[in-house]
């Protein structure tokens, strides 16, 4: 079994802390026993035999997907950890890397082309092939991409199908506009001098999906920062899993941070 990255911020996430000890153990079991692309063929007998614990499958799925879809049960019976590829490969699979190609092929073997969900990662071509406009990552050997199944031959100097080294590439391009999740994460990190990554934004994505705006989420950050930043017990709660939790978010959003209203004087 290959070595894999692990998310140390997991122990600060409310959804994870809401699991019982068996469910926590099973989550780590899933991450360790899935294949290179995040797919696991269920075999609960092995889990029970090796750990001496029994997992309630339906209860686990309900809890693990309470605020964000972390596990999808496919028609072929396999379980798919939706954030696995994004986390393990930093959101990018290279079409010129054999191992990355193997991961992508495994993904497509289980997720058909008609399913256009990206699951937060990109499949890119190397800079040695013409496949769109060169972007700011060209120095890393990666250019803007088109996935293989959607790719059409690009036109170079009016001729289709020509490929090869890119001549006179554009050295700079307009900066990418941050996604709504990135905007919220960036604002939070600036406020608390934090290092949260976009892949910790499950609660942010959920609130945006509920119809709340980036300004709403930023407002909650600012309000709670004002209230908690200097409080030894509360400042540690300035984190996505608390600020944007569905139980408390609207309450935080509708709090009034202005001056307290003056008491009406009773005229005797």
Dist CA 176 CA 199 (whole Å): 18
Whether 32 and 67 map to the same domain: the answer is: yes
Note whether residue 55 is domain-resident: yes
Whether 111 and 92 map to the same domain: the answer is: yes
Query: Whole-number mean pLDDT of the chain?
Result: 79
pLDDT score of 131 more than 70: no
Q: What letters, b where the CB count within 10 A reaches 16 and e where it falls short, cover 149-172? A: eeeeeeeeeeeeeeeeebeeeeee
pLDDT score of 157 more than 50: no
Note whether residue 173 is domain-resident: no
Q: Which tens digits make up the pLDDT trace of 50-95?
A: 999 999 999 999 999 988 889 999 989 999 999 999 999 888 888 8
Dist CA 144 CA 138 (whole Å): 8
Yes or no: say if 198 and 181 are a contact pair by the CB < 8 Å rule: yes
Note whether residue 1 is domain-resident: no
Final residue before a domain boundary, out of 35, 65, 82: 82
Closest by CA to 202, choosing from 5, 2, 14, 4, is: 14
Domains identified in the chain, total number: 3
Whether 44 and 102 map to the same domain: the answer is: no
When pLDDT is cut at 50, 70 and 90, the band that residue 8 belongs to is confident
Whether 150 and 207 map to the same domain: the answer is: no
Note whether residue 31 is domain-resident: yes
Note whether residue 262 is domain-resident: no
Whether 94 and 133 map to the same domain: the answer is: yes
Dist CA 173 CA 137 (whole Å): 10
Final residue before a domain boundary, out of 82, 104, 120: 82
Whether 130 and 67 map to the same domain: the answer is: no
Whether 59 and 71 map to the same domain: the answer is: yes
When pLDDT is cut at 50, 70 and 90, the band that residue 203 belongs to is confident
Dist CA 92 CA 124 (whole Å): 7
Whether 191 and 244 map to the same domain: the answer is: yes
Dist CA 66 CA 62 (whole Å): 6
Dist CA 145 CA 133 (whole Å): 8
Lowest mean pLDDT among 74-88, 104-118, 184-198: 104-118
Which pLDDT score is estimated for 268? Answer: 56
Final residue before a domain boundary, out of 82, 104, 130: 82
The residue range of the domain holding 242 is 180-253
Whether 152 and 185 map to the same domain: the answer is: no
Whether 94 and 50 map to the same domain: the answer is: no
Closest by CA to 203, choosing from 217, 192, 190, is: 217
Q: What letters, b where the CB count within 10 A reaches 16 and e where it falls short, cover 228-242? A: beeeeeeeeebbbbb
Yes or no: say if 7 and 87 are a contact pair by the CB < 8 Å rule: yes
């Amino acid at each position: 079994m290959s070595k894999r990255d692990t998310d140390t911020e997991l122990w600060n996430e409310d959804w994870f802390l809401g699991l019982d000890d068996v469910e926590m153990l099973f989550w780590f079991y899933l991450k360790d026993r899935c294949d290179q692309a995040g797919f696991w063929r269920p075999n609960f007998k092995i889990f029970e035999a090796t750990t001496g614990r029994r997992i309630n499958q339906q209860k686990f799925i309900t809890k693990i997907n309470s605020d964000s879809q972390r596990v999808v049960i496919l028609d072929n019976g396999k379980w798919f950890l939706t954030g696995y590829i994004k986390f393990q490969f930093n959101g990018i699979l290279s079409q010129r890397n054999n191992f990355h190609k193997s991961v992508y092929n495994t993904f497509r073997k289980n997720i058909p082309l008609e399913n256009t969900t990206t699951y937060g990662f990109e499949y890119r071509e190397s800079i040695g092939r013409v496949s769109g406009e060169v972007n700011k990552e060209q120095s890393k050997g990666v250019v803007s991409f088109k996935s293989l199944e959607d790719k059409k031959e690009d036109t170079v100097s009016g001729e289709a199908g020509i490929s090869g080294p890119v001549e006179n590439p554009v050295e700079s391009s307009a900066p990418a506009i941050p996604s709504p999740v990135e905007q919220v994460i960036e604002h939070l990190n600036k406020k608390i001098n934090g290092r949260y990554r976009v892949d910790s934004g499950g609660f942010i994505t959920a609130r945006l999906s509920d119809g709340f705006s980036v300004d709403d989420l930023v407002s909650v950050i600012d309000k709670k920062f004002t209230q908690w930043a200097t409080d030894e017990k509360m400042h540690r709660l300035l984190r996505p899993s608390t600020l944007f939790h569905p139980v408390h978010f609207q309450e935080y959003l509708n709090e009034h941070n202005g001056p307290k209203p003056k008491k009406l004087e009773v005229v005797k």
